Amino acid sequence: MRKPIVAGNWKMNKTSSEAKDLVRQLVPLLDGVKGVDVVLCPPFTALAAVSEAITGTQIDLGAQNMHWEKSGAYTGEISAPMLRELYAHYVILGHSERRTYFGETDDVVNTKVRAALSSNLHAIVCVGETLEHRESGKTEQVVAEQLRGSLAGLNENDWQHIIIAYEPVWAIGTGRTASPEQAQEVHAFIRGTISNMQDSAVAESTRIQYGGSMKASNARELLSQPDIDGGLIGGAALDAANFAEIVKAAV
């Protein structure tokens, strides 16, 4: 049985004090909710505040990105040990916004994934096709390439700390969600690809989140698909009630 995992990717939203307010609203709404991993990924500047605000709750902390080196002359960057010291246990890597606006390639993502694992962080690794890819029938080819490139060279133990997020680029922030059938089709394909890359036991135990305009009103249907093991939530994660409903739908 794969335990569902719902993560909020706040992107470049919420100052430190706004982040604290959001967590304060969220904590009572999730009180007593069990059987699901919940992760909040605020911007770097709000990590410390959120870390403190979630102490003693079942909510875990994640970052949205990191550098592959532990320290050094990399102006503007943040390392895995810096995240660990704030009690972050997850990091999102290879988000399509990082790939599109900051030129992150599969090789870069792979280097970051290895660095995250060697610092005992769980990596939420994002893959997904653009509308152009989908319309030209290249979804599976693109997703397989991203998986093989971003997750090259991992061993069985490494895979225990990997979560895949399938985020079709055309569904991110657009209000246009993949239908449950469209999402399930790609999730099943991703599981098959992991089985080919590693083995079927790893494929069966790896959690695959869906991301892209997931919200309270469509979460239940998406999450009821056999290969959808949770969600990576953008816009709807900025609203405590909406996010809490999604978390409950995953149980």
Active-site positions read 95, 167
CB 124 to ligand 13P: min, Å: 9
CB 236 to ligand 13P: min, Å: 6
For position 247 contacting ligand 13P by CB under 6 A, the verdict is: no
| Alpha carbons within 13 A on the beta-carbon side of 246 | 33
Q: Which residues 6+ apart lie within 8 Å of 71 measured at CB?
A: 79, 81
The interface region with ligand 13P, picked from 22-30, 112-120, 167-175, 222-230 by CB under 6 A, is: 167-175
What is the DSSP track for 51-105?
HHHTTTSSEEEEES---SSSSSS-TT---HHHHHHTTEEEEEES-HHHHHHS---
- Could you tell me which of 133, 219, 123, 130 has the C-alpha nearest to residue 172? 130
d(CA 131, CA 138): 10
For position 172 contacting ligand 13P by CB under 6 A, the verdict is: yes
CB 167 to ligand 13P: min, Å: 5
Which two three-digit tokens encode residue 70? Answer: 């532990």
Nearer to ligand 13P, 83 or 124 (CB): 124
The interface region with ligand 13P, picked from 50-58, 108-116, 137-145, 205-213 by CB under 6 A, is: 205-213
The interface region with ligand 13P, picked from 17-25, 43-51, 220-228, 232-240 by CB under 6 A, is: 232-240
d(CA 40, CA 61): 5
d(CA 197, CA 180): 25
Q: Name residues contacting ligand 13P, limited to 75-104 (CB under 6 A).
A: 95
Q: Would you report the helix, strand and coil content of the chain in percent, each value rounded to 5?
A: 50, 15, 35
What mask, x for binding ligand 13P by CB under 6 A, covers residues 54 to 73?
Answer: --------------------
Tell which one of 121, 214, 216, 219 touches ligand 13P (CB under 6 A).
Answer: 214
CB 113 to ligand 13P: min, Å: 16
d(CA 101, CA 96): 8
Q: Tokens 């997850």 appear where? A: 90
CB 157 to ligand 13P: min, Å: 26
Tell which one of 178, 232, 244, 247 touches ligand 13P (CB under 6 A).
Answer: 232
For position 213 contacting ligand 13P by CB under 6 A, the verdict is: yes
- Interface residues with ligand 13P (CB under 6 A) are 9, 95, 167, 172-173, 211-214, 232-236
